[in-house]
Amino acid sequence: MAGGQRQRRRRAGGRVLLPALLLGLCWRAAAERLRYTIPEELGRGSLVGPLARDLGLSPADLPARKLRLASAANRQLQYFTVSGESGNLYVSERLDREEMCGEAASCSVSFEALVQNPLNVFHVEVAIQDINDNSPRFLRDNFYLEINELTSPGARFAVGLAEDADVGSNSLQGYELEANGYFTVEVKESPDGSKFAELVLRRALDREREPSLRLVLTALDGGDPPRSGTAQLCINVTDANDNAPVFAQDRYRATLREDTPPGSIVLNVSASDADAGTNALITYGFGETPSKLLQKFVMDAESGLITLQEALDFEDMRSFSLTVEARDRGGLLAHCKVEVEVLDVNDNAPEITMLSVSSPVPEDVPAGTVVALLNVNDRDSGVNGEVSCELSGEAPLSLVKSSGGSYKVVTASALDREQAAEHRVTVVARDQGRPSLSSSTALVLEVSDVNDNAPVFEEAAYSAYVAENNAAGAPILRVLARDPDAGTNGRVSYWLAGGSADVAAYVSVEARSGALYAQRSFDYEQCREFAVVVRAQDGGEPARSSTATVRVFVLDRNDNAPRVLWPAPEAGGRVPGSAPALEPFEVVPRSAESGYLVAKVVAVDADAGRNAWLSYELVQAAEPALFRVGLHSGEVRTARAVSERDAAKQRLVAVVKDHGQPALSATATLHVVLAESLQEALPELSERAAGAESAAELQFYLLRYSVSEELPKGSFVGDVAKDLGLQLPALRDRGVRVVSESRTQYFALLGKTGHLVTAERIDREQLCRLVEKCVLRCEVLVEGEMNIYGIEVEIVDINDNVPSFRQAEKELRISETSAPGSRFPLAEAHDPDSGPNSVQSYELSGDEHFSLAVQTGPGGDQRPELVLAKALDREEAAFHELVLRASDGGEPARTGTARIRVAVLDANDNAPVFSQAEYTVRVPEDVPVGSTLVIVTATDADEGLNGHVEYSFHKISGRAPDIIKLDSETGEIFLKECLDFEEFSSLDLEVQARDGGDLSNMAKVTITVTDVNDNAPEISVRSSLSEISEDSPAGAVVALLHVQDRDSGPNGEVRCSISEKIPFRLEKSFENYYRVVTSRELDREQVSEYNVTVRATDGGSPALWSSAVLWLRVLDVNDNAPVFAEARYSARVPENNAAGALVLRVRAWDADWGQNARVRYRLGEGRVRGAPLTSYVSVEAETGALYALRSFDYEEVREVGLWVRAEDGGAPALSSNVSVRLVIVDENDNAPQVLYPPAAPLAAGAGWAGVELAPRSAEPGALVAKVVAVDADAGQNAWLSYELAKATEPGLFRVGLHSGEVRTARFPLARDAARQSLVVVVKDHGRPALSATATLTVVLAESVAELLAELGSAASAAAPGEPAGSLTRWLVLAVAAVSCLFLAFLLLLLALRLRRWRRSQLLAAGSGALRGVPASHFVGIDGVRAFLHSYSHEVSLTADSRKSQLRFSGASCCDTLPARPPPDEPAPLLGEDPAAPPVSPNDRPFSVTLSSTASLPFPRRVLLRSA
């Protein structure tokens, strides 16, 4: 019931306050101007502010109120529009502050917001905040200044003014000047506030060092990031005559060949004067220089050209030092040194002096033995004087360099006299000049012999063939042992050292010649071979020897005639004068057929081989056709059948011949009787014997012999007597003699021996010059027998003639172009001997270029041919001496020689040869026209027309033909036009030398032009970046530059540099390429763009330079998180704010650029009193404006803490957080609430809700009652004051202004009504103040009985139909209930105190952390004044004994119980206390307020109220 009364009072209060609140809001809105601030350049549709909310309009009211904008100037309305749905103010057109407001310091747009129903007007002003969107700009891009170089430091010069359309801090703030060593800039401010730059000279200028300056003046504003504008300052430094001439070099050096002709240019000195105009005109001359030097050189006063006057001699003076002066028109003087170095020309050949020679040298000297000392000297110097020596010729000698120019000739290896008894070498000394000069001297070294070689036989084993029947003392063969040693060491003696048994009886050896002789005649039939060991021993000390074995083979001669065994020789004839005898005979029947074997002749030959081969021949027969004899078998057979007419007796004579040379023979006589039986044959035999003596027959025999020519007279030819079967005594008797048809009798027959011997010396070549086989014929006539025997003697050739040539010397003419393999016929050698003794072979010696080939002619003759084995070279050898040797086959062989001289005919086979393969000359580019640059020289080894050389250009390109010219005869190259190093630094030519035979050769000529420093370096940007990311690592390549200086040498050596104040450096890449790389990490937030100036300076004097500027913009990288303007934000928000109201604006700045700097805002997660934070507050993502999404109630939430996150637009995004504390500011929106006395019930008769008893004897100031009220507001809005607004007796009672105590103001009077009605007004101190009323009924009575009687009468009057006992019953029940409750309370309070004391020992540390429950959950009990004596106690209890709270009011004058926690105990900001357990309805705490008065023993009223 009590709860329902409280709700009704609230609704009644609300109806009273709402109109007043609306009226107050409307009044404030009409009186105030709404102001918004936005930056310029916002996009269309950007939010300006929640206009409707700020005007106190809810979205639901907008259709009815018809919010719109109006302005006297329609131009203002084009920028903004208001949303009809949300009531938010938006930008409708791009805002440009500079266009809208120009240069005004502040810019705003004003208009009115109109609402209807009711009609009202609101003034709205939108301030346009400037952003830095304009860069400073100079009125001109270039400013030109002329400043004299003598201007004193400190001078000031005004430069251009820059403009910036922005205002405030975004406007122009200052100037910066490019770093330099001369000027700084100071910022001055004019009276109108504009800033201008003033150039200040800090260091003296020097026009010669810096004739002009180009500086970049930068104007900067104060924006973030700052913007800038640049202008170029072109400062021209005017000249003053303050510089003396300066030579390009302090010391000039020139080199001249000593053969440089007079008139040649030495060099050109060059001095420059840094001044300009006439101050820079210079004249040249020699300073203090000896007159001897002045005779050599002359100088041109205008050009500084030094020319040679007299010829130079390196050997006389190697260098000259000249002093040269340069004087300008102002009289200033400069000096330099000119050093002329004379270059040696190789005009002196080396000189060789033989100091000592040791000759002869024993061949056994060790390697390294010094055999000669010599000295080499060359008067030239340098390379021309560097001499190298070598030995020409093949010899085991070498040169070893000693100290200075001395050399030692030493043996390189062991000497061998047997190979070379003399060494001829040529010592050649050659210098290193071009062309090289040389000299030579011959060194002859004889080698003396040492006995280091044993004799060596030509053959290890010899074979000799000796025909039998040789004469005693006949030579067998000649052994030859050679000893390479000389003199006595090489003299060889021969001895028999052994062999077959008793060999000394067979042969002997001649000690000197090694000839072996037969000691006796050999007989093949007795000894066919034997061995002889011959020792050869030299005459050295000790002697050396060697042996050789000679095998002697006895050759069979045909010295044995065949011997007939059958028929017996005696049967073949008889001795003349002896008696006839019966000869053997053979019987052949007449019936014998052809082929019938008659007999067989059997013969043998004691010789061997061919000499023993026998053949049979029938030489005589009575019937030649009847018989035949086998050629080899000797069988006599019938050749046909025997006829009747054949004689009965047949005599056959068969000749048996061997095959020797000459052939020997024997005869066999066979008698054949043709008879059928022996009886028939006998008569025939007797008849033959009778007639034998009377027959006169002539016998003829042929004997053949062979004999060597040139045998002495009386040499044995053959045993004729033996061969003819004649007895020696019969020779004389029968008159045997030799007859011949020739005039010269060459043979004779010795009567004593029967031997045929030579009667004259026989020369086969004379007798048989053209006959291969020479045979002499003679006959042996046996006069007694009338027999004649033919003899053929073959003259065997011996090697008694030497081969000879018709011409002992012959000259051949062969062209040097003849191809190897060419053949040239040679004359044949002639040898009268025949067979093996004739010419058998040819040998050629003397030169490796030729060899010998022998062709066999059709007749078997040998024809020598000269074969070209190696190509000829007339220039290497014009003649070749050869020896042709012809050898026969005799033993020993004989030879004949012919000398052949080959003259090599010249052919054009040599091209001209230049003295140098490459000619190099260096000339300055200012060498005068007509000067000789170089002379090329070529020689041709050919002769005549083939050796005549002419010169021409073979390869010449570009403008070279117009610049230089070549003399075709002398090879001189001279200048036709001026040289220009910048056009070409060198000329590469190929000069051709051609001889008369059309052969040519090339030489390369390089003419290097030396430079004068007249070109500044050139910088080419091959590749560059215009943008670079700021996170690029150190070393990132920004640009690739190519630096080139067309000059050369020091003039072309370029040094590049950049400023050290910027984060870039230069790295040399390749040759003349440079890379501009970052030297450290970039930071766009510090510098957003760079102008990198690369300066290139050459090494000339004076140095020239050039520069290139690289503009580089630094691209942003999201490397900066947004940064809030404040570390933390706090805002005070009045409660009951409109939903959507702007609470505050957080602002975060991101130092990045573009999308990376675009900041968006969002709320962090959280809860407020269990509800999501986003249901209370929202933040606009783009602007950071925080809006309240609902109306705050201070009584529910006093403070809200939240986090706002600012996140940029980078990838990945960076963010930062800031804490925002929203303090809810209390407004007076709650009227005071009266707790006591309670409101009267609405039903009839409810006026007895609160009755107070006042005795009539009460004194003034006696406490009657106390009005208890609370205010849900805080602070001043909760301060309550009490006022008695209405009373039955106004002067009887008074109310405490702040305590609400109702006391008597005077003594009650009797006339005072017993029942007093008091109306107390309770007001707070808010604006506007809110109030509530309390009605109090006071009964003036002395006792309870009177009180009850009065109440009863009052009740009867109020409800006549209700019985009076009802009230009494209820009062008794109420008193009993209050008494019980009071007793229970006392017991509970005691228990709590005991429990608290006990737990304080255990939970002392935790008690401070206990948090109370808001007092709004408590129930108040009033009226126990007697117990507490005006003290108020508030006890908070929960079911959990660990959490309890007991509060005591400190003042007895304040009886107002607060309904909310005090300010120092705020409610949780973001929700319930997480450490506190949830409170169930059963555990809800309650509050007990006891009030007592000492004059009453019991409480007069007890009010229980459940929460």
Beta pairing partners, 1322:
1282, 1332
Separation between Cα atoms, residue 981 and residue 1009, nearest integer Å: 6
Q: Which of 608-617, 785-794, 804-813, 1431-1440 has the lowest mean pLDDT?
A: 1431-1440
Separation between Cα atoms, residue 488 and residue 453, nearest integer Å: 12
Give the pLDDT of residue 836: 82
Tell me the pLDDT tens digit for each residue of 1311-1369: 888 888 999 999 999 888 999 999 988 888 887 777 777 766 665 555 554 454 556 67
In the structure, what pLDDT confidence band is assigned to residue 679 with cuts at 50, 70 and 90? low
Separation between Cα atoms, residue 1394 and residue 1130, nearest integer Å: 45
Please name the amino acid found at residue 234.
C
Give the pLDDT of residue 1459: 39
- Report, as an integer, the average pLDDT of 194-207: 86
Give the pLDDT of residue 1503: 35
- Find the length of the chain: 1507
Separation between Cα atoms, residue 814 and residue 850, nearest integer Å: 12
In the structure, what pLDDT confidence band is assigned to residue 1396 with cuts at 50, 70 and 90? confident
In the structure, what pLDDT confidence band is assigned to residue 1415 with cuts at 50, 70 and 90? very low
Tell me the pLDDT tens digit for each residue of 377-414: 888 887 888 888 988 888 888 888 877 678 888 998 88
Q: ∠1397-1398-1401 over CA atoms, to 5°?
A: 95
In the structure, what pLDDT confidence band is assigned to residue 1240 with cuts at 50, 70 and 90? low
Q: Is a pLDDT exceeding 50 seen at residue 1216?
A: yes
Task: Report residue 360 as tokens.
Answer: 């002869």
Give the percent of the chain with pLDDT over 70: 84
Tell me the pLDDT tens digit for each residue of 809-828: 888 888 887 888 888 888 88
Neighbours of 985 (CB within 10 A): 18
Beta carbons within 8 Å of 928's beta carbon, 6+ residues apart:
265, 305, 975
Nearest C-alpha neighbor of 424 from the set 447, 409, 443: 443
Q: Which of 12-26, 1037-1051, 1400-1414 has the lowest mean pLDDT?
A: 12-26
In the structure, what pLDDT confidence band is assigned to residue 192 with cuts at 50, 70 and 90? low
Give the pLDDT of residue 768: 82
Q: ∠1479-1484-1486 over CA atoms, to 5°?
A: 150
Task: Tell me: cis bond preceding 567? Omega within 30 of 0 counts.
Answer: yes
Q: Which of 87-91, 711-715, 1241-1245, 1404-1408 has the lowest mean pLDDT?
A: 1404-1408
Give the pLDDT of residue 629: 93
In the structure, what pLDDT confidence band is assigned to residue 1241 with cuts at 50, 70 and 90? low
Strands 333-343, 251-257: pairing is parallel
Output the CA torsion 1398→1403→1408→1413 (10° steps): -80
Q: Which residue is it, tokens 């070294």?
A: 445
In the structure, what pLDDT confidence band is assigned to residue 1177 with cuts at 50, 70 and 90? very high
In the structure, what pLDDT confidence band is assigned to residue 1281 with cuts at 50, 70 and 90? very high
Q: Which of 75-79, 114-118, 1029-1033, 1426-1430 has the lowest mean pLDDT?
A: 1426-1430
Q: Is a pLDDT exceeding 70 seen at residue 1001?
A: yes
Q: Is a pLDDT exceeding 90 seen at residue 1208?
A: yes
Separation between Cα atoms, residue 1283 and residue 1251, nearest integer Å: 19
Q: Is a pLDDT exceeding 90 seen at residue 333?
A: no
Q: Where are the beta strands (DSSP E) in 579-719?
A: 585-588, 597-600, 602-604, 614-621, 627-629, 635-638, 649-658, 665-674, 700-708, 716-719
- Return the higher-pLDDT residue of 1451 and 68: 68
Separation between Cα atoms, residue 122 and residue 124, nearest integer Å: 6
Q: If you ran DSSP here, which 8-state letter would residue 611 be given?
A: G
In the structure, what pLDDT confidence band is assigned to residue 1409 with cuts at 50, 70 and 90? very low
Separation between Cα atoms, residue 962 and residue 453, nearest integer Å: 76
Separation between Cα atoms, residue 729 and residue 740, nearest integer Å: 24
| Residue 1204 · residue 1218 · CB < 8 Å | yes
- Report, as an integer, the average pLDDT of 471-498: 88
In the structure, what pLDDT confidence band is assigned to residue 119 with cuts at 50, 70 and 90? low
Task: Report residue 631 as tokens.
Answer: 């050629």
- Please, what is the end-to-end C-alpha distance for the chain in angstroms? 12
Separation between Cα atoms, residue 1445 and residue 1435, nearest integer Å: 6
| Residue 1137 · residue 1188 · CB < 8 Å | yes
Q: Which residue is it, tokens 């804490």?
A: 1219
- Return the higher-pLDDT residue of 1097 and 64: 1097
Beta carbons within 8 Å of 292's beta carbon, 6+ residues apart:
none
Angstrom CA distances, 312 to 52, 268, 348, 431, 937, stand at 111, 19, 15, 22, 22
Give the pLDDT of residue 651: 87
Q: Which of 259-263, 615-619, 676-680, 1503-1507 has the lowest mean pLDDT?
A: 1503-1507
Task: Report residue 580 as tokens.
Answer: 């006839």
Give the pLDDT of residue 798: 87
Which helix or strand (DSSP H or E) is residue 466 part of? strand 461-467
The overall average pLDDT reported for the chain is 80
In the structure, what pLDDT confidence band is assigned to residue 1106 with cuts at 50, 70 and 90? very high
Beta carbons within 8 Å of 915's beta carbon, 6+ residues apart:
434, 435, 936, 937, 938, 939
Task: Report residue 1012 as tokens.
Answer: 């004068």
Separation between Cα atoms, residue 1005 and residue 966, nearest integer Å: 12
CA atoms within 13 A on the CB side of 143: 22
Query: Which range scores top for mean pLDDT: 38-47, 65-74, 188-197?
Result: 38-47
Give the pLDDT of residue 1331: 93
| Residue 699 · residue 779 · CB < 8 Å | no
Largest CA distance in the chain: 257
Neighbours of 475 (CB within 10 A): 15
- Report, as an integer, the average pLDDT of 56-61: 85
- Mapping DSSP to helix (H, G, I), strand (E, B) and coil, where does residue 1111 land? strand
Separation between Cα atoms, residue 555 and residue 569, nearest integer Å: 29
